[in-house]
Amino acid sequence: MAKWILKQKALNHSAFVEALVNLFQPKQSILSSVIHHDSEIENLLSAKTSFQKLSHLTKLNFTRSVSKPETIGVDRLALAAAATNLYPDKNNLVIGLGSCITYNFINQYHQFLGGAISPGMEMRFKSMHEHTASLPLATKDWNFPLIGYDTKTNLQSGVIAGICYEIDGFIELYNSKYNNLNIILTGGDAIYFARQLKSRIFTDINFLFKGLYALSEFNNR
């Protein structure tokens, strides 16, 4: 039944969520969204579970030492929550690979200090295509040559190798400043990028979901 539900592309979002809730009957739920979503989803989860919508007002398992806490993306809050819950005695740098690449630093005192944001892989490809007169829209190819031999492979090398060097550079800087540093790489392409880095890191593509679970548990004690 679960596999059937997951294959039903014809279901709208609220119907999909309702089918999952009816099948698994969870006692609690948490919603993290940075896009517009059907309000029926929140109504459904509120009616059938102990529901929480992640926002800057949510009770967190860490503190935020930043100038404008309300501007921190909910995805970054979830990553910080996972790091605090799973590695509470370490300085943690969580690198999230998504539309943007986020560098999220949570120290051993459970303080989220901020970090950095840079364009993600797809955004880099699209930006060069849309903001130049003649560069084509390239896509990722993990077998790209370091020395590109045509326009497409030059773009692939610049984007993919560039991201690898960027990540290694940030890790080196944080390692030079903080002892007992734990580094986690997450996101859809994390496993590939981890193989290309010279730094030793943990890779967990489900790290954000572990953070959401930690926050749900934290708020339902």
- Domain ranges (residues) in the chain: 1-53, 55-218
* Separation between Cα atoms, residue 54 and residue 198, nearest integer Å: 35
Active site residue 89: no
* Separation between Cα atoms, residue 11 and residue 9, nearest integer Å: 5
pLDDT given for residue 3 in this prediction = 58
**pTM of the predicted structure, to 2 decimals:** 0.91
pLDDT given for residue 35 in this prediction = 79
pLDDT given for residue 91 in this prediction = 98
Give average pLDDT by consecutive 10-residue segment, the chain, 221 residues. Answer: 54 83 93 84 93 95 95 97 98 98 98 98 98 97 96 98 97 97 96 90 96 96 86
Q: Which residues contact 133 (CB under 8 A, 6 or more apart)?
A: none
* CATH match of 55-218 with 3.30.420.40: yes
pLDDT given for residue 15 in this prediction = 86
Active-site position among 75, 141, 150, 168: 75
pLDDT given for residue 14 in this prediction = 84
